[in-house]
Amino acid sequence: MKSHDSKSMGQNGQSTSVWMNVPRHDFGKLTGDLQTEVCIIGAGIAGLTTAYLLSREGKAVVVLDDGPIGGGQTERTTAHLASAIDDRYFEIERIHGEQGAQLAADSHSGAISEIERIVEAEQLQCDFRRLDGYLFVPPDESTDILDRELEAARRAGLHGVTKISRAPIASFDTGPCLLFPNQGQFHPLKYLNGLASAIQRLGGKIFTGVHAKSTEPGPPAVVSTQDGPKITADAVVVATNTPINDMFVIHTKQFPYTTYAIGARVPKDSLTTALYWDTLDPYHYIRLQPADPLDPDQRETLIIGGEDHKTGQADDKDQRHDRLEAWARQRFPMMGPVEYRWSGQVMETVDGLGFIGHNPLDKPNIFVATGDSGMGMTHGTIAGMLLRDLIMGRENPWQKLYDPRRKALKTLWEFTKENLNVAAEYTAWVTPGEVGSAEEVGPGSGAIIRDGIKKLAVYCDEHGHCHKMSATCPHLGCIVEWNSVEHTWDCPCHGSRFNAMGGVINGPANVDLEAVSEPQKATH
């Protein structure tokens, strides 16, 4: 295996998260057809957890990813391990009932415990630790939401949750807050490196730089790759953040949001190590990463996230990090210069819970894991635990709760609102271009231009060469938007993303934007 610095990959954008300085291994490309019991597409936390747990059961497993391990959204998380659900337990209870809320609490708590068990069993050096979490309201807002959440969390079985006078932050007074004990945090890429090594030790095979082109359920199931080789398997798991094998069903029940994060050094012990969240919409989320052993000052990294918006639907992306920093500096004056600025994409579902299990309208040997709803690390671990049991033919109490085929009538308004938002994005077909010609696109940037009845996505590189491609997302035909933060083309309908040159980097689209001309030198 060759190791490389992941910062050179640029797999999901040009920004760099606090995790990306960890070397990752290149496991090599698939050079011929293979037969296995389970083929897993996606080497993020959901895919590798599933592979590891199935390997422990003695299953033959093959993992494919078109980037490095963790090169999708796992490297863009802030790595909170929480049983405090983002969408609130009183809302989960309203939609799924008291038993559903209890199962949700049990699954997220169980995921943290499973990560802890794996860390101990494999002796992984990934900065895992248990710690408290604190939920507070913005200044001068009612604390009624805390009382409702306290009661609902306790009904869900989280009896250790308590209401206290303030979070342990000396630099600002949060006011009353909820204390959630036994939360967790870790370094996600160190954890995935350890999982990958364990999978290989157990006989599993991992291939990176391999693009899965299609899946056929069979039996046996067949995964075809872009370069030609095929994987034949009894079962296939699609763990690509959002499914690349489902055209419609799941994508009408979950919706892509872009979230932002910054990292800045703070003096050691200047802030109690814990998880912190407020109740704004969009909310802020905060944690500390331990000091790098090579840092002579032993400064910790304060990580703050927020400023979410629908993917491809904000014209102020450049300002999101600045607003996040301004919010943070008011509350954490000990912050040094911001050293990391990055963004990621989360899939929010209509009912607050992920979709894990048999892919709708597919044969029972095709499985999906998606809909992280902002809780990707625990959700990905829940996926591994639940999919292991489904593939092994065992009962799992969480199966019905996370079933991708479920319907929730109590979410009809949210379903309608989000899908009307998607429908409105198709009006971009009849609007003018953002600029009149490629010559108006500056070096290192992109814009949409109109070309007769078509729209083109034009990227001009740093050398002044303009690259023209179709602006039509190959998934369901939305017009993509330029992301000036990550230098990507983002689909505002279902969250497909493409690099500046049109190469697909995030589903549900699984092919590139169509190139329409050779690069031309712009005359600026």
Return the CA Rg of the chain: 22
Q: What pLDDT does 6 receive?
A: 33
Range 479-483 average pLDDT: 94
Contact, 18 vs 263, CB < 8 A? Answer: yes
User: What DSSP element (H or E) covers 420?
Assistant: helix 412-425
Residue 131 CB contacts under 8 Å (≥ 6 apart), including other chains: 183, 184, 185, 273, 274, 275
Range 189-199 average pLDDT: 97
Torsion sign, CA atoms 401, 108, 286, 122: negative
Range 15-25 average pLDDT: 90
- Comparing 516 with 266, the larger pLDDT belongs to 266
Is the domain spanning 127-187+253-349 CATH 3.30.9.10? The answer is: yes
Is pLDDT of 189 > 60?
yes
Is pLDDT of 33 > 80?
yes
Is pLDDT of 5 > 50?
no
- Comparing 244 with 133, the larger pLDDT belongs to 133
Q: What pLDDT does 248 receive?
A: 73
Q: What pLDDT does 410 receive?
A: 81
Phi, psi of 438 (to 5 degrees): -65, -30
- How many Cβ atoms are within 10 Å of 165's Cβ, its own excluded? 9
Q: What pLDDT does 53 receive?
A: 98
Q: What pLDDT does 520 receive?
A: 62
| CA nearest neighbour of 116 among 22, 70, 182 | 182
Q: What pLDDT does 10 receive?
A: 45
Query: Is the omega angle on the peptide bond into residue 492 within 30 degrees of 0, that is, cis?
Result: no
Superfamily, domain 2-77+189-247+352-413 = FAD/NAD(P)-binding domain (3.50.50.60)
Interval 202-250: pLDDT, tens = 999 999 999 999 999 988 999 999 999 999 999 999 999 988 887 778 8
Residue 344 CB contacts under 8 Å (≥ 6 apart), including other chains: 12, 17, 73, 76, 77, 258, 259, 261
Q: What pLDDT does 2 receive?
A: 36
Confidence of residue 9 (pLDDT cuts 50, 70, 90): very low
Interval 76-91: pLDDT, tens = 999 999 999 999 999 9
- Comparing 423 with 119, the larger pLDDT belongs to 119
From 283-287, 445-449, 484-488, 513-517, the region with the lowest mean pLDDT: 513-517
Domains 127-187+253-349 and 431-521 share a fold: no
CA distances from residue 173 to 168, 176, 177, 183 in whole angstroms, order as listed: 9, 9, 10, 22
Residue 323 CB contacts under 8 Å (≥ 6 apart), including other chains: 307
Q: What pLDDT does 523 receive?
A: 57
Residue 453 CB contacts under 8 Å (≥ 6 apart), including other chains: none
Is pLDDT of 327 > 70?
yes
- Comparing 224 with 5, the larger pLDDT belongs to 224
Is pLDDT of 4 > 80?
no
Q: What pLDDT does 524 receive?
A: 52
| CA nearest neighbour of 250 among 346, 368, 366, 388 | 368
Tell me the pLDDT of the chain averaged across its residues: 92
- Comparing 422 with 446, the larger pLDDT belongs to 446
User: Residue ranges per domain, the chain?
Assistant: 2-77+189-247+352-413, 127-187+253-349, 431-521
| CA nearest neighbour of 390 among 368, 370, 410 | 368
pTM (2 decimals)? Answer: 0.93
Contact, 492 vs 507, CB < 8 A? Answer: no
% of the chain surpassing 90 pLDDT? 77
The count of C-alpha atoms lying within 13 angstroms of the C-alpha of 281, restricted to the half-sphere facing its C-beta, is: 4
Q: What pLDDT does 298 receive?
A: 79
| Angle at 429 (CA atoms; ends 423, 431), nearest 5 degrees | 110
Is pLDDT of 7 > 50?
no
Range 349-378 average pLDDT: 93
Superfamily, domain 431-521 = Rieske [2Fe-2S] iron-sulphur domain (2.102.10.10)
Torsion sign, CA atoms 364, 245, 70, 284: negative
